[in-house]
Amino acid sequence: MQRHSSAQIGTVRTKTPILTARTVNSYKWIMGLGETSVEKIILAEPRGFCAGVDRAVEAVHSALRTYGRPLYVRHQIVHNRFVLEALEREGAIFVENLDDVPSGQRVIFSAHGVAPSEWDRAKDRSLRVIDATCPLVTKVHLEVKRYDNEGRTVILIGHAGHEEVKGTLGVAPGRVTLVASVAEARTVEVERPDRIAAVTQTTLSVDDTRDIMDALKDRFPTMQAPKTDDICYATQNRQNAVKELVQVSDAVLVVGSKQSSNANRLVEVARMRGARAFLVDSLADVEPAMLDGVRALGLTASASSPEWLVEEIIGAFARAGAEVELLSVAKERVHFPLPMPAD
Which residues share a beta bridge with 178?
156
Q: Where are the beta strands (DSSP E) in 110-204?
A: 128-131, 153-157, 176-179, 196-200
DSSP line for 277-300: EEEESSGGG--GGGGTT-SEEEEE
The SS3 call for residue 15 is coil
Asked about 311 being catalytic, the answer comes back as no
CA 168, 174, 180, 185: dihedral to nearest 10 degrees? -130
Residue 199 Rama label (left phi>0; alpha psi -120 to 50; beta): beta
- Find the helix packing angle between 51-67 and 135-149, rounded to 10°: 110
Closest CA to 112 of 199, 53, 48, 175: 53
> What count of other Cβ atoms lies within 10 Å of the Cβ of residue 251?
22
Q: Which of 164, 244, 268, 312 is catalytic?
A: 164
Task: Kindly give the pairing relationship between strand 106-109 and strand 92-95.
Answer: unpaired
The SS3 call for residue 66 is helix
Instruction: Give the DSSP H/E element, type plus range, for residue 233.
Output: helix 233-245
Give dist(CA 20, CA 15) in Å, integer.
15
Task: Catalogue the active-site residues.
Answer: 164
